[in-house]
Structure 1
Amino acid sequence: MSDYLWFEGIPFPTAVNEKEIIEEIRNIFVIRDEDTVILTYPKSGSNWLREIVCLIQTKGDPNWIQSVHIWECSPWIETKNGYPRLINKEGPRLITSHLPFHLFPKSFFSSKAKIIYVIRNPRDVLVSGYFFWSKTKFVKNPESLTTYFEWFIKGNVAYGSWFEHTHAWLSMRERDNFLPLSYEDIKKARLGTGRITLQ
């Protein structure tokens, strides 16, 4: 899979990621106490949650998210475009990431910054990922759902193994500044048929 940048066992799309940036994020970037991070495995609802959090921050006023691209409101920390925006951004930052636990900024673990982690049923992540990646030019196109399934099970997809990603991040669930949410619960709450519960 030559379309990936492999870094410490994790495949990243070369179109948006660079090894130097990922290293700098982990070792040097400072997560501030007032920052909020939206963290997911790919295809688990990150863009949906970004819009929800942006609306919460503006007390329901949609002007901000309607006038500013969502990538500006909450940049992806690990991307070539997002990282420079976050370095110089003042005030509380809203940050988005797919980074696995072991590559996340070390500064977070001694901060009071908040992480909202969304987990989604892996079957839905698999199917959504297959259709997303097969229509983009970011990575090698999976020839079939069967092929993508094999890659997914082995962790040979963007951002690595869903199983390792979620297991590592959910180990943080007892921390006060870590909020785990279920994609399925958010969906039920949106439809008025359920409540969001902590995982």
Structure 2
Amino acid sequence: MHSQLPAHRCSDSGLWVVKSTSVISTMADDKYLVYHGLMLPKIVHSEESLKHFETFEFRDDDVLALTYPKSGTTWMQEILPLLMNGGDTSPVKTVPNWDRVPWLEELRAAEVLSSMPSPRIMVSHMPYHLMPKSLFSSKAKVIYVTRNPKDVLVSSFHFHKMASFLDDPGTFDEFLDKFLEGEVMFGKWTDHVKSWQKTYMEDRIFHVTYEEMLKDLKGVLSRMSRFLGKDLSDEILEQVASHCSFKSMKDNAMSNYSLVPQDIMDNTKSPFMRKGIAGDWKKHFNPEQEAKFTDAMKREMRDNCNKITWDED
């Protein structure tokens, strides 16, 4: 255990829950920390990194991209530096994405962000209610990306196959159950999405879907750049859209995770940059699984008033 606090076993999942206001603990298999009930991979999270996250001081010109895992995080790590620096591709060609746009809750954040000049760009997988208090007192801007949860599940299933720091996903049917129960990193998709749909950030938050970006990336980039206060020409937007295509990113060693040792992320089992499409779930779900998943999503999201682009898929 990372803290000397009383805890108890929750069900048969191996999950440990801390009975205290301090909420960092470990799971039985030792691959995850548990933070406020969320499973976080220990390879990139620690008690110290989470304390840094909790006390992080946002600056007014910070930009933060928020996603549930496998919803377009790497894409945002490519897009945002280009929009913020007027289309200059040098940073995305020379600096790995985890240093260029670090995860706020992860191990390298303290070191990287302390020396990063403003405006700083960062990403996070955390739900709204766990964000540092300074986010809400600052003028920092947030971009929240949502993706069809069926495609999120498929992408996460393949990611678990190639990432040694995550649990083996088992069969697709088994992983589907884990996903619906929130027994995956960062918990339930529905909880995460709902937490960021009802905020008090008003004009400081920009919502976009993965599917919108696939259909009209240049149009999304134009709206996103205006939200960020950047006046970019049509030519620059075209260049950014071209550089942020799936093929371009897959060929970019600073973005495709090929720099990560194979014993940590094994691209021979499943490539990190796999397909980058919408609708791949149709090749994985059988009718029974689709019905089960859809029923669960409708039940969990029944009070959601925000229509999302794939509702009729």
TM-score when scaled to structure 1? 0.91
Match of 2:186 among 151, 159, 183: 159
Contact map agreement 1:36 1:92 (CA 8 A) in 2: yes
Give the structure 1 partner of residue 44 of structure 2.
16
- Where do 1:23-38 residues align within 5 Å? 23-26=51-54, 28-38=55-65
- The 8 Å contact of residues 173 and 180 in structure 1, kept in 2 or not, is answered as no
Per the alignment, residue 32 of structure 2 pairs with 4
Distance across 2 between alignment mates of 1:13 and 1:47: 17
Structure 1 residue 63: deviation in Å? 1.5
CA distance in 2: counterparts of 1:189 and 1:90, whole angstroms: 31
Any residues of structure 2 matched to 1:114-153 within 5 Å, and which?
A: 114-153=141-180
Find the aligned partners of 2:139 and 2:97 in 1 and give their Cα distance. 24
- Alpha-carbon distance, 1:97 to partner: 0.8
Structure 1 segment 84-95 matched on structure 2, within 5 A? 84-95=111-122
Question: Per the alignment, do residues 174 and 101 of structure 1 end up closer, same or farther by CA in structure 2, a change over 3 Å counting?
Answer: closer
Say which SS state the counterpart of residue 90 (structure 1) adopts.
Answer: coil
Question: Aligned pair count?
Answer: 195
Say which of 61, 71, 74 aligns to 2:88. Answer: 61
Aligned to 2:216, the other structure's residue is in SS state: helix
Unaligned runs of 5+ in 2: 1-13, 15-28, 225-305, 307-313
Segments of 4+ moved more than 6 angstroms: none
CA 1:174–1:30 in 2, change beyond 3 Å: closer, same or farther?
A: closer
Normalized against structure 2, the TM-score is what? Answer: 0.59
Moved more, 65-74 or 108-117: 65-74
**SS at 1:176 equivalent:** helix
Counterpart AA for 2:187: G
Q: Could you tell me the percent identity over the aligned residues?
A: 36
Asked whether the 8 Å contact 2:136–2:201 carries over to 1, the reply is: no
In 1, the alpha carbon distance for the partners of 2:146 and 2:115 equals 30
SS in structure 1 at match of 2:105: coil
Quick check: 1:76–1:83 contact (8 Å CA) kept in 2? no
Higher relative contact order (CA 8 A, sep 6+): 1
Written as runs of structure 1 = structure 2, the 5 A alignment for 1:42-81 is 42-81=69-108
Which residues of structure 1 form unaligned runs of 5+? Answer: none
Q: 1:174 offset after TM fit, Å?
A: 6.1
